[in-house]
Amino acid sequence: MTRYLYQSPIGTLELVENESYITQIRRLPQYAEHPKDGSDERLTGVIAEAVMQLTEYFQGKRKVFTLPIRYSGTKFQEMVWSELQKIPYGETRSYADIARQIGQPKAVRAVGGANHRNPLLLVVPCHRVIQTSGGLGGFGCGVEIKQFLLELEQCYK
């Protein structure tokens, strides 16, 4: 396993590669210490590609990520994460929309829970899921970052 810290406009992102797949992208708390678990901290080819694509995204030049990714969760979480990847850049869906699209229209709150556990921030665009009313809803990185990302994609004002 290889980890890399990327300084982004939304804070420090920890990128994790395992067996040539990006398996985690998460925002570290502002004053968090980097975990010392014996993993490497280096820029591999896959991580370098992730850094390039993330940089292009933040510059407004990339709308689709083409990284080799792998995530692991419950069957329900993986259904939600798969559906999130279908939301185009610059568009949003409601939690209820996602629940309906996975064939479980009553699972709106569970969709929110799966969003919160998304291991691949930005690449699996959970920030594009908002409330049916048009409100932002929650976001693990904070609603101000969610609003920043949606404004970057020009789909929320």
Residue 95 exposure: Cα atoms within 13 Å on the Cβ side:
21
Catalytic site residue from 126, 130, 141, 149: 126
Active site residue 126: yes
**131 three-class SS:** coil
Q: How far apart are CA 63 and CA 53, in angstroms?
A: 9
Q: Which residues contact 117 (CB under 8 A, 6 or more apart)?
A: 73, 77
Three-class SS state of 148: helix
> Which residues, at least 6 apart from 40, have a Cβ–Cβ distance to it below 8 Å?
1, 2, 3
* Residues with catalytic function: 126
